[in-house]
Amino acid sequence: MTVSTTPATSRAISVEINGDTVEREVPASRLLVHFLRDDLDLTGTHVGCDTGSCGACTVLVDGLAVKSCSILAVQADGASVRTVEGLASDDGELTALQQSFKDCHALQCGYCTPGMLMSATALLERNPHPSEADVKLALQGNICRCTGYWNIIEAVVAVGQGGAA
């Protein structure tokens, strides 16, 4: 007996990604993160675990920080998605947060960085002047194995205070 565990169904979706509307037919089982990385080649969004624990895949879905490994691509149908590739302007001008990460040495290997930036972007959009405690809480879903977080927290707080010290 042959058991097929691959869903036979797929669905057409329309998602606004970093300002552009994307229409694609996707397998129903495809995670949003794999849709972004494999189908759209937006490889800035990373995968670091298989349990929704690490936050490397964090993107903004309708302004909310979401782990893109934890929702299906079809669930993003009709939504507006923002990834790390959508932060800097087309001419390469970094956001204040990206610049602050550079200024504060808030990254080493850079693998967690896109997820950190998206979680922190969501925080700064709802709270432009976060305290250290606010930042720690907002980044609780994002693991970093290189920095020990100190410089990341400093970088996010600095944005709310008008720039890195």
In the bound state with another protein, the residue whose beta carbon lies nearer, of 78 and 110, is 110
DSSP 95: P
Query: Minimal distance in Å, beta carbon 143 to another protein?
Result: 6
- End-to-end CA separation in angstroms for the chain: 66
Which range of residues in 9-17, 43-51, 71-79, 121-129 is near another protein by CB under 8 A? 43-51
Please tell me whether residue 121 binds another protein under the rule CB under 8 A.
no
Please tell me whether residue 82 binds another protein under the rule CB under 8 A.
no
Structure tokens belonging to residue 82: 């923002």
Query: Minimal distance in Å, beta carbon 81 to another protein?
Result: 14
Please tell me whether residue 58 binds another protein under the rule CB under 8 A.
no
Structure tokens belonging to residue 84: 């790390």
Give the DSSP per-residue string, 25-94.
Answer: EEETT-BHHHIIIIIS--TTS----SSS-S-TTEEEETTEEEETTSSBGGGGTT-EEE-GGGTS-TT-PP
Q: Which of 10, 29, 75, 80 is in the footprint of another protein by CB under 8 A?
A: 29
Query: Minimal distance in Å, beta carbon 150 to another protein?
Result: 5
Inter-residue contact 158 to 103 (CB < 8 Å): yes
Please tell me whether residue 42 binds another protein under the rule CB under 8 A.
yes
Structure tokens belonging to residue 133: 């405690």
What Å distances lie between residue 81 and 6, 32, 62, 88, 152, CA to CA? 26, 10, 6, 15, 24
Q: Which of 13, 26, 32, 34 is in the footprint of another protein by CB under 8 A?
A: 34
Q: By the criterion CB under 8 A, which residues form the site for another protein?
A: 1-6, 27, 29-30, 34, 37-38, 41-51, 53-54, 56, 83-85, 87-88, 92, 94, 98, 101-103, 105, 107-114, 117, 132, 135-137, 139-140, 142-154
